[in-house]
Amino acid sequence: MTQKQLPSKTLKISYCVVLLAAAVPIGLAKSGWVATATGGFSMALVPFLGPVVFLFIGLYRIYLVVRVQDVLASPQATGLVSALRGVGAFCIQVGAVASVFSWVAGPLMRALMTTRTESGAEYFVVGVYLALFSGIGLLGLILFEFSRLLAFERLVAARRKG
């Protein structure tokens, strides 16, 4: 029996936050001018169906991560696969922090800033940086899931040989 590599509770929470931030376009990083400047929503080619399908898939995946304990588990791996998993987990954590900041940045900036520009450029700049850092979370999701796929492929290959 192959030993499973179980994710930490922190990683599961961060995974859900990053996925929620990607599926539900809310927060300062997803606001009008910021979204336009950073390329908008990634499913813009399919204006109505794409975002709705992406939302339901994302919410279903979050449900699975919360409900099923081993859903993010994978076989123990070494080498490149282990490195991809570690880098992916780190990027997920960074993306989760950026996503949470994106959700609270608008009200926080309004409460803490004593002077503002007429154009609101400070909101735009903060939103662009938060959008960039939130994108690190999506990269982390891809790396993390790719490392899981490679670990399962190695397990299948080892079982075929043995």
Give pLDDT tens digits along the chain (162 positions): 467 888 899 999 999 999 888 877 765 555 555 555 555 555 455 566 777 788 888 899 999 999 998 899 999 889 999 999 999 999 999 999 988 888 888 777 777 777 777 777 777 777 778 878 888 999 999 999 999 999 999 999 999 987
pTM of the predicted protein model: 0.78
Phi-psi region of 27 (alpha: psi -120 to 50; beta: other; left: phi over 0): left
Q: Rounded to an integer, what distance in angstroms lies between the CA atom of residue 138 and that of residue 41?
A: 13
Distance between alpha carbon 99 and the CA centroid of its chain, in Å? 8
Tokens of 158: 């080892």
